[in-house]
Amino acid sequence: MMKILVTPRSVTKNGHPSLEALSAAGYEVVFSSPGSFPTEAELLTLLPGCVGYLAGVETISASVLESAGDLKVISRNGTGVDSVDIAAAARCGITVCRAQGANARGVAELTFGHILAAVRSLPLSDHHMKNEQWQRRKGIELENHTLGLVGCGKIGQLVTGFALAFGMKVRAHDPYPDQTFLPEGNFEYRSLDEILSGSDILSLHCPAQADGAPLIDSAAIEKMKQGVTIVNTARGSLLDTEALLAALDTGHVAGVALDAFDSEPPTDWRLVKDPRVIASPHIGGFTQESVDRAMYAAVENLLSVLSE
C-alpha cells in the first residue's frame, strides 16, 4: 500500500475527516509525532517510501527531499511554501501544492483583532484589572487613521474591507497589485516607502524576503511615523527583533502585535514579554473553518497530482 505522510500539528493530534478520502483511495496514512513539529531527523525516517506528503509549516530541506525517492507531491495545508526548498523539489521532480486562500479569513480576522487590541491596550488593561489595579492607557479611534498593508492578496483584501468599515484610510503595497480589487472607500495602492512613511498602523501580509533579511529593520523604522503600531501575522523573519526593541524603548514604535515567529515556539522571548507587545501562538489560520478549508483543499490537491 502506498503511503502518505501527514504532519500538520493540529491534525496529528486530533485527526481530521478529510483524511478519510486518502484511505478510501487506497493510501496508508502515516503521521508524525502528535501535536508537534516534525524534526528533520523524523522526516528523514518517515518520508522515504511515501508518495505524498501533506505538510504543515515545518522546514522541508533539500536533504529531506533527496531522501524521499518515491515522493511525487507535497501538499501544504496553507498558502505559504517558503519553508520548502522549492529548488530541491524541482530537481527531485516533486510537485508542491498550496491550499490557496484557505485560511485567509481566519488570518484577516485575527489581524484586525490584533489592531483593535493594540490601539486600545486591551491585554494590558485586562492584566491590570485581574491584579485589582485601576490603570488606564489612552487609546485612539481608528476612523480617519491610515492602515498600511504590505501585501494585498486575499488576506490583505479582507483586512482592507474591515478597515474601510471602520472609516480608515487604507494604503497598500503589492509587487503584483490586483487591479480588479476596487473596494468602496478610501483605498489606494502606493509604493513601499509611501506605506512606511504614511501609516499609523502597518500590517504585514507578504512572504519572507528571498534572502531571509528582515523587511522591517532600523532603516525601515526610521521612515515611519512616530508612534506607529506594527502588526505581523505573516512571517517572523520579516521583523528585526533588535530594531523593534530599540524603537519600542524610544517610543518611535508604540506597539507591536505578533502571530508569527522565526521559530515556534520562540527561542527569543524578549519581544513577546515586552508589555507593549501583544503576541499569539500562530493562531491566524487556527479556526475550525480555516482548518477544514485548508485540509480538504490539501487532500484534494494530493489526490489530483497522484492520479495523474
Separation in Å, CA 284 to CA 33, 154, 169, 205, 250: 22, 14, 24, 12, 29
For the question of residue 293 being annotated catalytic, the response is no
Catalytic residue among 173, 235, 276, 293: 235
Measure the CA angle with vertex 51, ends 4 and 296; round to 5°.
45
For the question of residue 205 being annotated catalytic, the response is no
Catalytic residue among 194, 242, 264, 300: 264
Measure the CA angle with vertex 284, ends 281 and 288; round to 5°.
105
Catalytic residue among 105, 114, 252, 282: 282
For the question of residue 105 being annotated catalytic, the response is no
Q: How far, in Å, CA of 224 to CA of 80, rounded?
A: 27
Q: How far, in Å, CA of 123 to CA of 125, rounded?
A: 5
Q: Per residue, what are the HEC states of 61-101?
A: CHHHHHHCCCCCEEEECCCCCCCECHHHHHHCCCEEECCCC
Cell readout for 3 is 503511503
By CB atoms closer than 10 A (0-12, 13-18, 19+), residue 34 is: exposed
Cell readout for 163 is 478597515
Which string of b and e fits 72-109 if b means at least 16 CB within 10 Å? bbbbbbbbbbebbbeebbeebebbbbbbebbbbbbbbb
Q: In the chain, what is the greatest distance between 2 CA atoms, to the nearest angstrom? A: 64
Q: Active-site residue numbers?
A: 235, 264, 282
